[in-house]
Chains A and B, each alone.
Chain A
Amino acid sequence: MKNAKVFISVLLMCGLLFLSSFPASRGPLSLIRIPKAADFPARLLSRLQIDVRQELESCLLALVDREDIALLRRNGVRFSILARNAAKRDILVVRTDSPDALAALRSAGKAIAVEPETAVFWTETGSPSEAVPAGLPRKVLSSRTVRVDLRPAATASRPAPQAVAQDPLIDMIVDLVSTSNLSSGVQSLQDFQTRYASTSNCEAAGQYIYNAFSGLGLDDVRFAPFTFSGSYSSRNVVAEKTGETYPGDIVIICAHYDSTSPSASRLTLAPGADDNASGTAAVIEAARILALYPLDFTIRFIAFSAEEWGLYGSRAYAAAASLAGDRIVGVINLDMIAYANAMPEDLQVIVNAASGWLADRFLDAASSYGPLGATKTVNASFVYSDHAPFWDGGYPALLAIEDDPLNNPYYHKTTDTLDKLNLEFFTSATRASVGLLAELAQPLREGYPMTPVGLAAKPVVYSALFSALKAVRVTWSAQADAAGYNVYRTNSSHLDYVKINDSPVVGTMYTDADVRPDLPYYYVVTAVGAAGLESNRSREAVAAPDVSPATAALRTLSLPALGGGR
């Protein structure tokens, strides 16, 4: 009897030891909504490593486990739980800009409003993308943690397009945009009858785009396959014109080539002329033109698939780019750029706060090269096209679209055909897009000095006993064909550079002592040749001069090593 007790005790202890060898379960993942109130704790969320999967204008959506929930509560973060066991589901963000839309969504599955015009949606079984009523734009939650923009929205605004001097070379480039090419491109894509992702016609349309890119003399053309919504697969088509000065810095122009129409017809007829053969034809036209020019920066021309299902193609691409650490300068996403209910028609340019500069540059280009009126809207909740996954990855991206809210009566219908498009507006929108693309990628000019490389900007503080000079030291690599260099500066990335040196700098360093400690400073450098011709601008370098007391204290300790004195 005594032996039996000992035996049972040993058995129990072994059992406990065995169980404790498994990692503690953190419980199922829940989807929560965190409001972006005035006391929005963005930095705290980053510090707590909360897995934010979607940023919207007024809230964040995050996947959290029991431990995260306890952590958020301990830190006083307000949130509400939207769905439990969320990791097992494909959850969509759906635009519900009317009570009818929300009601229709609720009849199709589980829908919870998270903003006045935004709901999250999922179904217990089957693909939620297929369950969403036709006509409601949707985006699947990011597959990775998104980068939350910590900047205040105010940094993104500029009052009006600048009167930019037109660059004759860019003028020449945009003049190559051909209305007949755009028109025939739309016709060719429309001729596939449907391009609904998952159909063989869509794959054939992808092959057509691949062939179109392949005939242009670009440096690389490839398919980028991906799977979506369970068992479906499709292919993005990616073409590249590699930059000669900065091959690793990429400017993207993209559009989705898949289409849709009401569920009864989409497998057989979804011409999608405006949505989005127009954007795709513009991307192919941009590739045709810019393939002819050597460039400083790399351009990728991308036709995405499965956008209409919830941006699956661009989500796969942007996630891979983010994972690979790609340096993406900016993304121009063209989606529905050819329908005008009345002329003159403005193009809407939609960005998040961090991409504000890109919209401002687009507005300048539209004014200079369209010519075209364009309106900038900063709205992080407009996540219903292929720019949004790039926002998730922290990349600057814009959406160019004819109207928001849409007023194309043929949208997502079998009647969205070429004859409904306004080719004048379509051509102007493409000219503006190609103009901005060329400005960002910088065509090389014969007889001009090479574009400077190796730019770095480092904050440095020069301190005396009672006062300190906060400065930025800008350095770059020496160039054989440069007689001097010009240094340009701005407080808004990629926007409104101002030359800060009086005469060309001899040497490869410039100290900018006219800086404020509370502002970021962005620099570019150009090379000036012996004949006075000025090169393209270098890649941008940023510096935020700030020396914390802790840094200063540490530095004081190592003062003898610095020398100084007379």
Chain B
Amino acid sequence: MNAGRRVAVFLAVLGLAAAARAQELSVSLAAGSFRASEEAYRGIYGPSVPFSADLWLKLKGHFGIGAGFAKLSDKGKAVPIGEDGAEYPVKFSRTSIPVIVFYQFDLKAVDIRLGAGLCAHRYEETWETVDLGFKGNKVSPRFFAAATVALLSRLSLFGSATYDTIPTGAGSPLVTDVNLGGLQFLGGISFRIF
């Protein structure tokens, strides 16, 4: 069983177990900025704009579960080691499926969530003009903080900060063990289903 399938099974079991105690279900859509902790990543691709869609299930009490889908796509140029000469465009994409357990502080108009969990990543780097590329999968920890501010009865503003560490064990002459993690800030809206 691959990492993605393991996470899906884990998510399904957790969802079924939690549904019985579900108190609130909401969905959020957000976009923002990702700052990679890997210097080489920033050198090639610069700052990135990730997108994310998540489902939040708050249980009785203060705990809850979140799961979702996130996508990050980037374009950049291969870095010449030696003297510069030609340009070789490269692109990178990362798809992530996080499963988070969080604790929610219910304040007046603001809810704050702090949590941690696991995230399954599938990533791919391709060269646009030569036949080179790399694909990989990794499950890694995720740390998470979010806040929602109520706008209307079901609609809220949503903001989150997540930190991932994704050591891949793979690399190139530029960096021996690429860590695809970093700090991500997202902003968007959240819609409460019940």
Q: Which residues in A have some Cβ–Cβ distance to B below 8 Å?
A: 458-469, 471, 473, 509, 511, 513, 547, 549, 551-553, 555-556, 559-560, 562-566
Contacts and interface: CB of A to CB of B under 8 A. Distances in A.
Interface in B139-186: 168, 170-176, 178
Nearest to B168: A466
B125 interface: yes
A462 B42 contact: no
A565 B176 CA distance: 19
B125 A462 contact: no
Interface residues on B, range: 35 or more
Contacts of A461: 80-82, 173
A260 to B, nearest CB: 55
A562 B82 contact: no
Interface of B: 38-46, 75-86, 88, 90, 92, 125, 127, 130, 132-134, 136, 168, 170-176, 178
Give 5 closest A-B pairs by Cβ, nearest first.
A466-B134, A565-B46, A552-B173, A462-B78, A463-B174
A466 B136 contact: yes
Contacts of B133: 467
A466 B170 contact: yes
A547 B85 CA distance: 17
B149 to A, nearest CB: 33
A553 B177 CA distance: 11
9 contacts: A464-B132, A466-B171, A552-B176, A559-B174, A562-B43, A564-B79, A565-B44, A565-B76, A566-B45
Contacts of B39: 556, 559-560
Contacts of B136: 466
B9 to A, nearest CB: 28
Contacts of A562: 43, 79-80
Contact of B92 (A465, A511, A547, A560): A465
A467 B79 CA distance: 11
B77 A565 contact: yes
A143 to B, nearest CB: 39
A509 B85 contact: yes
Contacts of B82: 458-461, 473, 547
A547 B173 contact: yes
Contacts of A468: 78, 81, 172-174
A462 B133 CA distance: 13
A100 B90 CA distance: 72
A546 to B, nearest CB: 10
B81 A551 contact: yes
A560 B178 contact: no
A551 B82 CA distance: 10
A468 B88 CA distance: 10
Given A460-B82, A473-B83, 5 more contacts: A464-B76, A465-B172, A552-B172, A559-B174, A565-B76
Contact of A556 (B80, B83, B174): B174
B176 A467 contact: no
Nearest to B36: A465
Contacts of A513: 86, 88, 130
A560 to B, nearest CB: 7
Contacts of A467: 125, 127, 132-134, 172
B81 A462 contact: yes
Given A465-B174, A560-B43, A555 B85 contact: no
Contact of B80 (A462, A465, A560): A462
Contact of B46 (A463, A555, A566): A566
B130 A555 contact: no
Contacts of A553: 176
A566 to B, nearest CB: 5
A471 B86 contact: yes
A513 B83 CA distance: 14
A535 to B, nearest CB: 24
Q: Which of A469, A513, A553 has the most CB of B within 10 A?
A: A469
Contact of A463 (B38, B78, B170): B78
A463 B125 contact: no
A413 B80 CA distance: 66
Given A458-B83, A460-B83, A460-B85, A466 B42 contact: no
Nearest to B82: A460
Contacts of A464: 44, 76, 78-79, 90, 92, 125, 127, 132, 172, 174
A298 to B, nearest CB: 31
A565 B43 contact: yes
Contact of B125 (A460, A465, A556): A465
Contacts of B83: 458, 460, 473
A556 B134 contact: no
A511 B86 contact: yes
